[in-house]
Structure 1
Amino acid sequence: MDLAFARRFAARWQDDWNSHDLDRILAHHDDVTFSSPMIARLTDDPAGTAHAKAAQRAYRAQGLERIPDLRFEVMDVRASVDSLVIDYRNQICGRVGEVLTFREGLVVAGFGAYGETPAN
C-alpha cells in the first residue's frame, strides 16, 4: 500500500462517517474483525471486539444513534505494507488512532486506540 492510497482512503473514510450513512461506512469492509474501547462501551462487552460484517453494522448503527453529533476530522495518515493508520479528531476533540488492515482492497481487520480524552 502506498501513502497516496492511504490518503485517498482516509478522505473517503472521513466523508463516509460524517455522512452518517451506514451503507457508505461499511462499503469498504469485508468480513472484518474490529476492536475498540467504544465497542466495549456501546455493547457492554468488555472484550470490545466485533466480528463479521453483521456485528460491525450493529455496533456502528448503535454508535450513530447514541452519538448523533458524531463527526471525524482526519489529522494525519500513515501507510504500511497492508495497513494504514488514520489519526483523527472526533466530535469532542478527542484524538483517536485507527489502524486498518486490507486484503484485496477491503478492510479485514482493525482497531481504534484512544488517549485521555473521553470517547464520546
Structure 2
Amino acid sequence: MTKEFATAFAEEWVTAWNSHDLNIILSHYSEDFSIESPLALKRFPETKGTVVGKDNVRNYWTWGLENNPTLKFELLDLLIGVNSLTIYYINTATSRKAVEVMSFNSDMKVDKAIVNYSE
C-alpha cells in the first residue's frame, strides 16, 4: 500500500463520514465486509461484536448515524501497513478517540475493520 493511496483513502473516508451519506461511506467497503466493534457488541449483543456483510453493516451504521446527528470525525494520524492501514481519529462531537484497523482486498476495498475506542 502506498502512502499516497493511504492518505487519499483516509481523507475520503473522513469526508464521507462527516457527510453522513451512507452510500458514499459504504462505497469504500466490499460486499463481504465485516466490522468488529465494542459499540456493535453494546448496541446489538446478538452480533457478539462483529457485524458481517454490507447489508447488515448498512443497518448498523444507519442506526448509528440516526442516533448521532452531530457525528464528525477529525483525522489524528494514519499508519500504513502492507495491505492494511490504521486510522486514528476523534469524534469531535463526543471527544471520543478511536483507532480503526482496515484490511483491503485485491480491489482495494476494505474487507475487514477492527475498531477500538477510548473510554
**TM-score category (smaller protein):** over 0.9
Q: Report if aligned partners of 1:98, 1:110 keep a CA contact under 8 Å in 2.
A: yes
What 5-or-longer segments of structure 2 have no aligned partner? Answer: none
Residue 50 of structure 2 corresponds to residue 49 of structure 1: yes
Aligned match of 1:115: 118
Identity among equivalent positions (%) equals 37
- Equivalent position amino acid for 2:12 in 1: R
Contact 1:39 1:45 in 2 (8 A): no
Task: Give unpaired runs (5+ residues) of structure 1.
Answer: none
The 1:4/1:55 distance shift into structure 2, 3 A limit, reads: same
Alignment of 1:98 with 2:84, yes or no, is: no
The CA distance in 2 between the partners of 1:43 and 1:15, in whole Å, is 26
Partner Cα separation in structure 2 for residue 93 and residue 84 of structure 1: 22
Letter in 2 for 1:37: P
> In the alignment, residue 43 of structure 1 is paired with which amino acid?
F
Give the root-mean-square deviation of aligned CA atoms. 1.1
Q: Is residue 42–residue 59 contact of structure 1 (8 Å, CA) maintained in 2?
A: no
List structure 1 runs of 4+ shifted beyond 6 angstroms: none
**1:89 paired residue number:** 90
Structure 2: which amino acid aligns with 1:25? I
Kindly tell me the number of residue pairs found equivalent between the two proteins: 116
Cα distance per residue 1:18-52 (max 9 Å; x no partner): 00001001001101011001112232336111001
- TM-score of the pair, normalised by structure 2: 0.92
TM-score by length of 1: 0.92
Structure 2 counterpart of 1:95, one-letter code: K
Amino acid at match of 2:78: V
Aligned to 1:78: 79
